[in-house]
Chains A and B, each alone.
Chain A
Amino acid sequence: MILIGIALILLAILGAPLFAIIAAGALIGFAGSDIDLMVVPMEIFRVSEIPVLIAIPLFTFAGYLLGESQAPRRLVRMTNVLLGWMPGGLAVVALFVCALFTAFTGASGVTIVAMGALLYPAIASAGYREKFNLGLITTSGSLGLLFAPSLPLILYGIIAGQSVDDLFVAGILPGLLMLLLLSLYCFREGGFVHSRVKRQPFDRRELAAALRESIWEIPLPIIVLGGVYSGFFAVSEAAAVTVVYVFIVEVLIYRDIPLRRLPGVMRDSMVLVGGILIILGVSLASTNYMIDQQVPMRLFEWVTSHISSKLSFLILLNLFLLMLGMMLDIFSALVIVVPLILPIAAGYGIDPIHLGMIFLANMQIGYCTPPVGMNLFIASYRFDKPIILLYRAALPFLAILLLTVLIITYWPWLSLVLVR
C-alpha cells in the first residue's frame, strides 16, 4: 500500500493529471477492500447532487466575460481617480483592482494576464522601481481569494460542509487586513523611498468622466455582495444574477464582446470548470474510501499523540499548507487536503470557518513562493523577465503576506467576529 502511494506521488510530480492520480488511489483502495468499482462513478455522479455547485460554472463564465471585456481598463481608471492622488496611489490602485478582479475570476492566473497588461506599464511609467512593480503584480495575482464570490471560498464551503454565505462574510476582515498591510508598504514606496514617483492630482472632472464610463459596472459588486450578505439571494442565485447582469452590460450595452466571440469565451471558461469538477468528482470517491478506512480518525490520533498544543499544531499547519500551496493549485489542494485536516483541526478546537481562512490565506502565498509558485511563472512568461528576478521581487511582498497569515492564524476573532 505504501509502495502504491509512493508510485502515485511520483507520477503526480512527473506531471500526470491530478484527477487520474486521485482516481487511481480510489480505484486501488476500493479494489483492495473487495468493493465493486462501480462505487467510483457513483461517487463522481454525486457532483450532480450538490446544489451550491451551480455557482461555479456561472461565476466562472461571468469572470471570463469580465476579463474579455474592457471592464479591467474602466476599473483601473475609476480606482485611479479615487486613490491615485495618495502617495503610492497607483500601487494601491493595483492592489484593489487585482483583489476585486481575482474575487470574480478565481485565482487561475487570469488576473496577472488581464490586469498585469494594463497595470505593469502604467506603474512603470509613473516612475516606480521595476522590482517593486514586478513583485506587486505577481503577488496581487492571487490577492482577493478571501473575498466573495471567489471560487476557492465556494469550494471550501462545499467540501467542508460549511455555509458559503458565512464564508463570504468571514473573508471580509482577513482580506481587508491583507490589503491594508500591503497598501502601507505601497505608501512607503511611493511616498518616502522614491519621491520622484509621479502622483496624479485629484481631478473632479476626471472622476465624473470615469463614473459616467463605468456607470453600469459599479452596481455589480453591490448587487452580488449586497444580495448575498443581506441574505436576499442564495449563492447560486447570486451567481445567476451576476452572469445575466454581466452579459447584459458587457455584451449588450458596452458591446465589448462581439456575439460571435461568445461561444469561444463560454467554451474557455467551461474548460476551467471541467478541470476543477473532474478533480472534485474523483476526490468525492477517494474521500469516501478514506473515511471508510477511517484515515482521518487515524491521522487525528497520530497527530494528537505527537502534538499536544493547539499552538504547535497551528504552526505545523501553516508550514504544511505553505508547502502544499507551492506544489498544488488551490482547487486540488482543497479537495484533497480539506477532508483530512478538517477533523484534526476540529479536535484542536479550531472553527471550520477559521480553518478555511487559514487554508486559503496560506494557499494564496504558496502561489507566489519560490521556487515553484505558479504566479511567478505566469509573470515571468507574461512580462518576459527571468524567473530569478521575480523570486527576488516577490520577497518583500511575501514577507508582508506571511505576517498577515500569522495574524489570521493566531487571531481567530478576525475571521469569526462577523459570523459567530
Chain B
Amino acid sequence: MEQTERSLVSRLLRLTVLAEDALLVLILAAMIGLAATQIILRNLFDGAILWADPMLRVSVLWVGMIGAMVATRIDKQISVDAVSRFLPTHLKARVRVATDVFTAFVSGVVAWSALRLVLDDRAAGGTAVAFVPVWACEVILPVAFGVIALRYFLFAIKHMKLSVAEEDVL
C-alpha cells in the first residue's frame, strides 16, 4: 500500500516538473508576443487589444508563482545566508529540518487560505479579464503554495534522514 502511494506521489511530482517547465516557457513566450503585438498596434495602427493589458498582468503573477515553484524545486529560494554558511555540517542538516518544517507549514496555511479564496470567488462569480473568471486567475495561488509546501515537507524528510545518517557515522 505504502509503496504504491509513494510511487504515485513521485509520479505526480515528476508530472509537475514537466508541467512547470512547459508552462514557464509558454507563458513567457506568450507574454513577449502579446506585449510586442500591443506596442505595434498602439504605435502603428492606433489600436489595442482590450484584454491584452489585464492578461499580461495576470501572466506576471502566474509566471512568478510557477517560477517560485521551480525555485523551491531546485532549492533556490532567496534566504539570508549569513549564519547557516558557517554552521558545522552535523548541525546544518538539523537546522534545515527545522526551517523546512516551518516553511512547509507556512506555505500550507497560505495554500489553504488561497483555496478558500478561490472557492469563495467561484461561488460569487465575476470576471477578471474579458472572458476569464476571477477564480481561474487566482487558482495558481493554492496550487503553487500547495506544491511549495509539499516540496519543503519532502526536503524536511530528506534532511532528517541525512542528520540521522550522520549521527550513525559519529
* Chain A interface residues (CB < 8 Å from chain B): 11-20, 23-24, 27, 36-38, 40-42, 44-45, 47-51, 53-54, 56-58, 61, 236-237, 239-241, 243-244, 247, 263, 266-267, 270-282, 326-329, 331-332, 372, 374, 377
Question: Is B150 part of the contact surface with A, judged by Cβ < 8 Å?
Answer: no
Stretch of B3-11, B54-62, B161-169 on the interface side: B54-62
A328 surroundings in chain B (CB, below 8 A): 80
Question: If A48-B137, A278-B68 touch, does A237 touch B113 (CB 8 Å cutoff)?
Answer: no
Mask, B53-80, CB within 8 Å of A = 1, is 1001111110111111111001011111
**Residue in B83, B99, B110 whose Cβ sees the most chain A Cβ within 10 Å:** B110
A16 touches B32 (CB 8 A): no
Answer whether residue B116 sits at the interface, using C-beta atoms and an 8 A cutoff: yes
The number of residues on chain B lying at the interface, defined by a beta carbon within 8 Å of a beta carbon of chain A, is 58
Give the docked Cα–Cα distance between A218 and B60 (Å): 29
Task: Give 24 pairs: A residue, B residue, CB < 8 Å, sorted on A.
Answer: A14-B99, A15-B83, A23-B107, A27-B106, A37-B109, A38-B114, A41-B110, A41-B138, A44-B114, A45-B141, A48-B57, A48-B60, A54-B35, A240-B39, A263-B25, A266-B29, A267-B25, A270-B63, A275-B68, A275-B71, A277-B60, A278-B71, A329-B78, A377-B81
CA distance A40 to B66 in the complex (A): 18
Instruction: Identify B35's interface contact among A14, A48, A58, CB under 8 A.
Output: A58
Q: Is the CB of A240 within 8 A of B137?
A: no
**B36 in contact (CB, < 8 A):** yes
CB of A267 within 8 A of CB of B113, answer no
CB <8 Å contact, A20 and B103: yes
Alpha-carbon separation in the docked complex, A11 to B95 (Å): 9
Q: A16 to B21, Cβ gap below 8 A?
A: no
A53 touches B66 (CB 8 A): no
Contact count A vs B, C-beta below 8 Å = 196
Q: Is the CB of A45 within 8 A of B78?
A: no
- Tell me the complex Cα distance, A41–B96, Å: 26
Q: Is the CB of A13 within 8 A of B80?
A: yes
- The reply to whether the CB of B84 lies closer than 8 angstroms to some CB of chain A is yes
* Distance between Cα atoms of A326 and B82 in the complex (Å): 8
Report chain A residues within 8 Å CB of B99: 11, 14-17
CB-defined contacts of A13 to chain B, threshold 8 Å? 80, 82-84
Which residues of chain A are within 8 angstroms of B64 by Cβ–Cβ distance?
47, 57, 273-274, 276-278, 280-281
Contacts of B71 in A (CB 8 A): 271-272, 274-275, 278
> Are A19's CB and B68's CB within 8 A?
yes
B102 within 8 A of A: yes
12 more CB-based (< 8 A) A-B contacts, given A38-B113, A239-B35, A275-B77: A14-B84, A14-B98, A17-B78, A17-B79, A36-B113, A41-B117, A44-B114, A47-B60, A51-B57, A237-B39, A267-B70, A277-B61
B80 touches A277 (CB 8 A): no
Q: Please pick, from B78, B102, B110, the residue contacting A332 in the complex, using a CB distance under 8 A.
A: B78
- Nearest B residue to A278 by beta-carbon distance? B68
Q: Is the CB of B80 within 8 A of A54?
A: no
- Asked if A274 contacts B113 (CB within 8 A), the reply is no
Contacts of B59 in A (CB 8 A): 54
Q: B15-32, CB under 8 A of A: which get 1 and which 0?
A: 000000100110011011
A241-B39, A270-B70 given; A15·B107 CB < 8 A = no
Given A51-B57, A274-B69, A332-B78: A11 in contact with B36 (beta carbons within 8 A) = no
Nearest B residue to A247 via CB reads B32
A54 touches B56 (CB 8 A): yes
- Please report the C-alpha to C-alpha distance between residue A281 and residue B114 in the assembled complex, in whole angstroms: 13
- State whether B70 touches A20 (Cβ < 8 A): no
Binding site of B, secondary structure by majority: helix, strand, loop or mixed? Answer: helix
CB pair B68–A38 under 8 Å, yes or no, is no
For the complex, what is the distance from the CA of A247 to the CA of B36, rounded to whole Å? 12
Given the contacts A37-B113, A58-B35, A237-B39, A16 and B63 also touching, CB distance less than 8 Å:
no
- The residue among A20, A243, A327 with the most chain B CB atoms within 10 A of its own CB is A20
10 A-B pairs with least C-beta separation: A274-B67, A277-B64, A240-B35, A15-B84, A274-B68, A17-B77, A41-B114, A16-B99, A48-B61, A278-B68
Cα–Cα, bound, A49→B84 (Å): 36
Instruction: Return A281 CB to nearest CB of chain B, in Å.
Output: 7
**A267-B32 CB under 8 A given contacts A41-B110, A54-B56, A275-B76:** no
Q: In the complex, A50 Cα to B39 Cα: how many Å?
A: 18
Task: Tell me whether A236 and B35 are in contact (CB under 8 A).
Answer: yes
A253 and B57 alpha carbons, distance in the complex (Å): 30
User: A142 → chain B, closest Cβ, in Å?
Assistant: 16
Asked if A273 and B63 make an inter-chain contact with CB atoms under 8 angstroms apart, the answer reads: yes
A57 near B31 with CB under 8 A, answer yes
Residues of A within 8 A of B114 (CB): 38, 41, 44
For B63, what are the chain A residues with a Cβ–Cβ distance below 8 Å?
57, 270, 273-274
Q: Which residue of A lies closest to B149 (CB)?
A: A20
Beta-carbon contact of B137 and A276 below 8 Å: no
Chain B neighbourhood of A38, CB < 8 A: 113-114, 116-117, 120
Give which listed residue, A11, A58, A240, A277, contacts B67 with CB less than 8 A.
A277
Residues of B close to A12: CB separation below 8 A: 79-80
Whether A267 pairs with B35 at a CB distance below 8 angstroms is no
In whole Å, how far is B90's beta carbon from the nearest beta carbon of chain A?
15
Contact B61 A45 (CB under 8 A): yes
Rounded to whole Å, the gap between the CB of A375 and the closest CB of chain B is: 13
